[in-house]
Amino acid sequence: MTSPPLPARLSVVVPCFNERANVAPLVARLEAALAGIAWEAVFVDDNSPDGTAAAARAIAARDPRIRCLRRIGRRGLSSAVIEGALSSSAEFVAVIDGDMQHDETRLPLMLTRLAAGEGDIAIGTRYAKGGDAGGLAGGFRQRLSRLGIAFAQLFLPSPVSDPMSGFFMMRREHFEEIAPRLAGSGFKILLDLLFNARPPLKVIEIPYEFRARAFGESKLDALVLAQFAGLLIDRVLHGAVPLRFIAFSGVGLVGVIANLAALAAGRALGLGFSPAQAIATVIAMVVNFQLNNSLTYRDQRLRGARLWRGLALFLLFCGIGAVADLGIARTLYEDHNSLTVSGAAGAIVAVVWNYAISATLVWRTR
Ligand SMILES: Nc1nc2c(ncn2[C@@H]2O[C@H](COP(=O)(O)OP(=O)(O)O)[C@@H](O)[C@H]2O)c(=O)[nH]1
Ligand SMILES: [Mg+2]
């Protein structure tokens, strides 16, 4: 009779998207780094087209320490980490990227220091003395990353040199306690955890060298900064307004600017006010659609035929919204004679209407 294997002391959560070539090498590295520790790893893959899940499952089929969580119709680094962590039960939970950019040889040190009670969370940091941000592709990414860190410090209870890190370890009990309060959208799970911990987590910083990517490509880009701004706004508003609505309204504001610019250009080209405004409205709606598709609804981005269908629906319904907006503004203007009140009321009705249409008809969740 064989006895069941020892339960894991450490669950390593690995969010991955299009990382097929990295799965097997990462498992080998974890195995080497974690010798002598009872560990398990959960690969959380959002149904990558490159077959990452199949690669992870093939290893899981012969190694009981490995599991694969394949999520369908979903995208998102934060939610992948949350679900991976909640699907496990070891005393300690670590998160490490699936692209081998993080230094897995630091995991035992994180575990030792946490177990010794030196802190509540051990954060792998690229910036503390001894760390290295060399693997961050391009100077632009580095500047962006530094800017984000400077902003985040303003909101953190105690300074953390790399609050955008995707490499950390904590006690499960803390994670489970904070989990219900996490926003869960976007890319910055660590920041989300630090913001929502009550009382604040005591941080242990573990410097490491951020490696260059060997296989595959980065999924994070400048748009991440916008999502990050959203997280900070959410923090200021204490979650009273959904993040998506904030993003949607921000995009709407850009649309208003596009509208005014196009209107001015049309007038300068000698068009009458009404035709210039009509053309400017359509241009603004297309800009809004494009930005919402790549930003607000990044996780449900429409492509191909669905993109054209979405654009048509968006133009149709937001066009109706624009006409209603004008009507409301005009009626209020006639009643109150105040341009600001009527303009603002019209804009609020339009943004709520457009948001409702977008969320239910254009980018509806499958
Ligand atoms: N499950 C899941 N993993 C993701 C998603 N986006 C990125 N990842 C993984 O998260 C890790 C960090 O992403 P990466 O693109 O390498 O970011 P970078 O290191 O900042 O360039 C990698 O292992 C990615 O495969 C996602 O939407 N879902
Ligand atoms: Mg990476």
Domain boundary among 185, 219, 253: 219
Question: Same domain for 176 and 318?
Answer: no
* Range scoring the smallest mean pLDDT among 48-57, 242-251, 330-339: 330-339
Q: Residue 366 above 90 pLDDT?
A: no
The number of folded domains in the chain is 2
Ligand 1 contact, 101 CB (< 6 A): yes
Question: Same domain for 89 and 167?
Answer: yes
Ligand 1 contact, 136 CB (< 6 A): no
Tell me if 1 is assigned to some domain: no
Helices (H) and strands (E) in the chain, counts: 12, 7
Question: Same domain for 85 and 189?
Answer: yes
Tell me if 226 is assigned to some domain: no
Ligand 1 contact, 148 CB (< 6 A): no
Question: Same domain for 112 and 64?
Answer: yes
Segments forming the whole domain that contains residue 76 = 10-219
Tell me if 307 is assigned to some domain: yes
* Range scoring the smallest mean pLDDT among 92-96, 237-241, 327-331: 327-331
What's the gap in Å between 45 CA and the centre of ligand 2? 14
Q: Which of 49, 56, 40, 48 is nearest to 8 (CA)?
A: 40
Q: What mean pLDDT is predicted for residues 171-192?
A: 89
What is the DSSP code string of 12-40? Answer: EEEEESS-HHHHHHHHHHHHHHTTTS-EE
Question: Same domain for 196 and 252?
Answer: no
What's the gap in Å between 272 CA and the centre of ligand 2? 52
Question: Same domain for 89 and 138?
Answer: yes
Ligand nearest to the CA of 217: 1
**Residues in the chain, overall count:** 366
Tell me if 184 is assigned to some domain: yes
Question: Same domain for 311 and 193?
Answer: no
Question: Same domain for 30 and 98?
Answer: yes
Which pLDDT score, from 0 to 100, does residue 227 have? 66
Ligand 1 contact, 97 CB (< 6 A): yes
Which pLDDT score, from 0 to 100, does residue 119 have? 96
Question: Same domain for 250 and 214?
Answer: no
Domain boundary among 187, 219, 251: 219
d(C-alpha 310, C-alpha 304), whole Å: 10
Residue to probe by mutation, ligand 1, list 13, 14, 17, most atoms within 8 Å of CB: 17
Tell me if 305 is assigned to some domain: yes
Which pLDDT score, from 0 to 100, does residue 25 have? 97
Q: What mean pLDDT is predicted for residues 272-288?
A: 86
Tell me if 2 is assigned to some domain: no
Tell me if 112 is assigned to some domain: yes
Distance, CA of 172 to chain centre: 22
What's the gap in Å between 108 CA and the centre of ligand 1? 23
pTM of the model: 0.70
Question: Same domain for 202 and 268?
Answer: no
Tell me if 57 is assigned to some domain: yes
Question: Same domain for 289 and 148?
Answer: no
Ligand 1 contact, 83 CB (< 6 A): no
Which pLDDT score, from 0 to 100, does residue 151 have? 77
